[in-house]
Amino acid sequence: MQRYVFIAALFAVSFSALSPAHAQSPYISRVWEYCPAPGQFVNELPEYEDGDDADSMCRKAGEYICGMTRSDITLGGWGGYVVVGFDHMIVNVAGEYDFRIWGNAFYADVNHPENGGSSEPGIISVSYDANGNGQPDDKWYEIAGSEYSRSTRNYEITYFRTPADHVKTPKMSEDLVDTTYIKWRDKNGTTGYLAKNRYHSQDYYPQWVTADKVTYSGTLLPDNAVPYKETGQTRYIMSNFAYGYADNHPNDNDGSKIKIDWAVDKKGNAVNLPGIHFVKIQTGVNQQCGWIGELSTEVSGGEDLHPDVTTDIETVESRKSKVECYKILKDGHIYIIINNQIKYVL
């Protein structure tokens, strides 16, 4: 008898809110954090203006990538990141791709054994709003893409602002006006530089950052840029990885689609998320490509790939415990999910 009372109560709450109070957008609705690492497009995409601070640059980033705007923002060199949110939960639909992050990757029509053209892969992490406060302050789970086993986790790098008395070391044969422009050092003591090319003359260090050094941490992907010679000049094929990253395949290619089921915890264990509310995208490769510059993930938006799926979360009180219930409206059917398992289809 208790079971039937519970089901009746569940159906009551399920039928009460099948129509959302307002039309939800399938696209990114807000930028929560914008923290690019130094790079050749920093202070340009979006543009820094005198007086800008972290909040105003975050708002500008939102103007570039929220909704259907589809303008690029740069994340700079390795570690730079952006945190975005949607106005609804993107549902984890079993066996289907759930969302994609738009970038500016493209394939090159060149005779080269490597696949790709311009792929600057970014690590994607996702978060479910478990505490229900509408903010990205819950656990993050990395999307385990095709290179997960070849990646370095817990990597860390610090970039240093170029001092005023810095002496340039140009290499104009590669269109580089300064090969020792911005110094970096990683957690292992390895050091290197972001070079400055002749195509971008602005400051590459985020100008709204007052500190003279900035540190980033996360997952380091293997290098993916492969040099080759053409008409005496060194060029690069930036090879794409198979799946699971931002700015890795063209936006209209299935390779850019992401499954929430690919999310893993810090130990690499798969997690069973009902859906996600927030996405973090972070430049994943630390590699310089001569006159082309550093590999820097760009983001131009993002979308829920099944916006027809609507969800509501209810908690139904039984005699022994609270049970989390989801109702999903999809393809004309109502799916009742109890504790992340489909129990009824109406």
Q: Tokens in use for 186? A: 């990683």
Q: Which residues contact 168 (CB under 8 A, 6 or more apart)?
A: 177, 178, 180, 181
Dist. CA 318–CA 157, nearest whole Å = 50
Dist. CA 251–CA 240, nearest whole Å = 13
Nearest to 47 by CA among 261, 276, 206, 225: 206
Summarize pLDDT for 189-222 with one digit per residue, the tens: 999 999 999 999 999 999 999 999 999 999 999 9
Nearest to 152 by CA among 185, 120, 186: 186
The separation between the first and the last C-alpha atoms of the chain, rounded to the nearest angstrom, is 21
Say what the pTM is. Answer: 0.86
Q: Tokens in use for 218? A: 């996360």
Summarize pLDDT for 30-74 with one digit per residue, the tens: 999 999 999 999 999 999 999 999 999 999 999 999 999 999 999
Average pLDDT for 318-342: 48
Given a contact cutoff of 8 angstroms between Cβ atoms, the answer to whether 312 and 324 are in contact is: no
Summarize pLDDT for 73-111 with one digit per residue, the tens: 999 999 999 999 999 999 999 889 999 999 999 998 766
pLDDT of residue 4: 39
Given a contact cutoff of 8 angstroms between Cβ atoms, the answer to whether 338 and 323 are in contact is: yes
DSSP 6: H
pLDDT of residue 18: 38
Dist. CA 244–CA 261, nearest whole Å = 11
Summarize pLDDT for 133-161 with one digit per residue, the tens: 999 999 999 999 999 999 999 999 999 99
Average pLDDT for 333-340: 52
Q: Which residues contact 221 (CB under 8 A, 6 or more apart)?
A: 121, 123, 147, 150, 151, 241, 245, 284, 285
pLDDT of residue 13: 39
